[in-house]
Amino acid sequence: MQSELSELLAEIAAIKWPTFLSDGDCVGTDPTLFDDEDYRKTIAAKKICSECPVQKQCAAWGIENEDAGIWGGLDDKDRAKARRGKRKFVSLEKRWENLEWRQDMLSEKSASELAVKYGKTERTIYRWRNKIQKRAIKRDNSLNS
């Protein structure tokens, strides 16, 4: 169990948040421009990105982490093209959800509380906890052998 917790904390610490965004030309603009849900807004967003001083960093971040929106002037199709042939893509949001889920399963929170949070029955929460505990025990055993 200890290794599962240590690994989880290391993964959280390793997340590099996009601090460059505060230097971007999108600061103070309408954030919905970058949602990529309205063609006219997308054109306006891409125009802003084209002159942004952190455009390259932002595009690289988007390719590595984001599955929606405009990042560095790239939309989701542009990013999918850029990822072709690379390892399987998992968005930061999904990775974060997975971390949160593991943290919850290892926490002292009650099954009833987690059942409400995840929209599942308490029985499912017990099953999930059992699964993560078995995995942690297996990992601890392999580290000790």
Instruction: Using alpha carbons, list the distances in angstroms from residue 79 to 48, 60, 70, 75, 108.
Output: 18, 9, 10, 6, 39
Q: Which of 92, 51, 89 is nearest to 73 (CA)?
A: 51
Q: How far apart are CA 57 and CA 31, in angstroms?
A: 19
Which range in 44-52, 80-88, 90-98, 114-122 contacts ligand SF4 by CB under 6 A? 44-52
Q: Which is nearer to ligand SF4, 52 or 114 (CB)?
A: 52
Beta carbon of residue 39, minimum distance to ligand SF4 (angstroms, whole number): 17
Q: Which of 21, 44, 82, 106 binds ligand SF4 (CB under 6 A)?
A: 21
Q: Which of 87, 69, 86 is nearest to 78 (CA)?
A: 69
CB-based contacts of 2: which residues, under 8 Å, 6+ apart?
140
- Which residues 53-92 are close enough to bind ligand SF4 by CB under 6 A? 54-55, 58, 70-73
Q: Which is nearer to ligand SF4, 27 or 143 (CB)?
A: 27
Q: Which is nearer to ligand SF4, 21 or 92 (CB)?
A: 21
| 109: three-class secondary structure by DSSP | coil
* 132 counts as binding ligand SF4 under rule CB under 6 A: no
Q: Which is nearer to ligand SF4, 56 or 123 (CB)?
A: 56
Under 8 Å between Cβ of 41 and 78: no
Residues near ligand SF4 (CB under 6 A) are: 21, 24-26, 34, 48-49, 52, 54-55, 58, 70-73
